[in-house]
């Protein structure tokens, strides 16, 4: 069991669905040529992350763009996790849509922990995990602020998830989240964590990059700087059992706490 994981630290073209889809297609082609099985995009990649004044009705064309993203997944034979805001009957959502390598939608994850005043005023929080199988591994999804809560990632590990992918939009001055927290989530659960941040700027925000793919010891299999970058890493699920054979946090958690 193992998969080749790709994560795209990029900016897209916020507000321009066609231009952003062109970037999705270009990056998917590059990831496919590099042998990737799964490609992750940042939080709000399709729509842009920070859209001041966003209200219901303010996301025209997103559903059609998602159909096009599914076609890109099928053409490149890549599973994809695509961050996008969604306009749902119950309210606006900050979401990640998962496609399998045939281009079929597996599910839509809605961010459960909303960060800051704008997100809290704009979105309805999700209340459920989304897990799927890819390359023989069990994969879970978290979005940005979600990963800052150890409870949420612990629940993924306890449910058997081996890799958590985290589309994110981490901005200055919060670099410490990328630097200190992502490795801890991987290590304390002995799982893989892929933190996929945006690069570039949006109104009022400067994203910090610093995406990484972490192994079950918290070590970086791949580490980005600030600018656009495609990170690639082989995810060998057997490492999890090997780490837990020496010392299992999940077992000791059940034993003592």
Catalytic residue among 111, 134, 156, 196: 111
The residue (of 159 and 219) whose beta carbon lies closer to its own copies is: 219
Q: How far is the CB of 176 from its own copies (least distance, A)?
A: 5
Task: State the CB neighbour count (10 A cutoff) for residue 33.
Answer: 9
What's the length of the chain?
Answer: 257
- End-to-end Cα spacing for the chain: 31
Neighbour-count burial of 105, counting CB atoms closer than 10 A to its CB (0-12 exposed, 13-18 middle, 19+ buried): middle
Q: How far is the CB of 166 from its own copies (least distance, A)?
A: 15
The residue (of 76 and 95) whose beta carbon lies closer to its own copies is: 95
Q: How far apart are CA 229 and CA 139, in angstroms?
A: 22
Q: How far apart are CA 133 and CA 256, in angstroms?
A: 31
Peptide bond into 173 cis (omega under 30): yes
Q: How far is the CB of 91 from its own copies (least distance, A)?
A: 15
Q: What angle do CA 44, 45, 50 make, to 5 degrees?
A: 45
Q: How far is the CB of 132 from its own copies (least distance, A)?
A: 22
Q: How far apart are CA 222 and CA 148, in angstroms?
A: 20
Catalytic residue among 43, 119, 148, 162: 43
The residue (of 138 and 214) whose beta carbon lies closer to its own copies is: 214
Q: Is 111 a catalytic residue?
A: yes
Catalytic residue among 23, 119, 144, 162: 144
The residue (of 238 and 257) whose beta carbon lies closer to its own copies is: 257
Q: How far is the CB of 37 from its own copies (least distance, A)?
A: 27
Assigned token pair, 178 = 């990328």
The residue (of 29 and 125) whose beta carbon lies closer to its own copies is: 125
By CB under 8 A, name the binding residues for its own copies. 112-116, 125, 145, 148-152, 154, 176-177, 180-181, 183-185, 187-188, 217-219, 247, 249, 252-253, 256-257
Q: How far apart are CA 131 and CA 156, in angstroms?
A: 8
Bridge-partner residues for 232, per DSSP?
A: 6
Catalytic (active-site) positions: 43, 111, 144
């Amino acid at each position: 069991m193992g998969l080749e994981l790709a994560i795209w630290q990029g900016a897209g073209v916020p507000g321009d669905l066609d231009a952003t889809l062109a970037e999705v297609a270009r990056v998917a082609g590059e990831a496919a040529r590099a042998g990737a099985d799964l490609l992750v995009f940042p939080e709000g990649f399709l729509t842009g992350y920070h859209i001041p004044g966003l209200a219901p009705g303010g996301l025209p064309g997103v559903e059609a763009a998602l159909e096009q993203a599914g076609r890109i997944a099928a053409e490149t034979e890549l599973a994809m996790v695509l961050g996008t805001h969604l306009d749902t009957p119950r309210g606006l959502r900050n979401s990640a849509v998962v496609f399998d390598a045939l281009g079929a939608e597996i599910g839509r994850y809605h961010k459960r922990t909303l960060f800051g005043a704008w997100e809290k005023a704009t979105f309805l929080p999700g209340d459920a995990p989304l897990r799927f199988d890819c390359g023989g591994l069990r994969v879970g999804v978290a979005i940005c602020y979600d990963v800052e809560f150890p409870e949420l990632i612990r629940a993924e590990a306890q449910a058997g998830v081996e890799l958590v992918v985290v589309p994110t939009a981490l901005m200055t001055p919060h670099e410490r989240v990328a630097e200190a927290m992502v490795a801890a989530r991987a290590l304390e659960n002995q799982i893989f964590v892929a933190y996929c941040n945006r690069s570039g700027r949006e109104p009022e925000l400067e994203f910090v990059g610093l995406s990484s793919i972490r192994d079950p010891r918290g070590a970086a299999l791949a580490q980005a700087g600030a600018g656009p970058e495609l990170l690639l890493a082989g995810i060998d699920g057997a490492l999890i059992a090997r780490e837990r054979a020496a010392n299992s946090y999940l077992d000791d958690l059940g034993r003592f706490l």
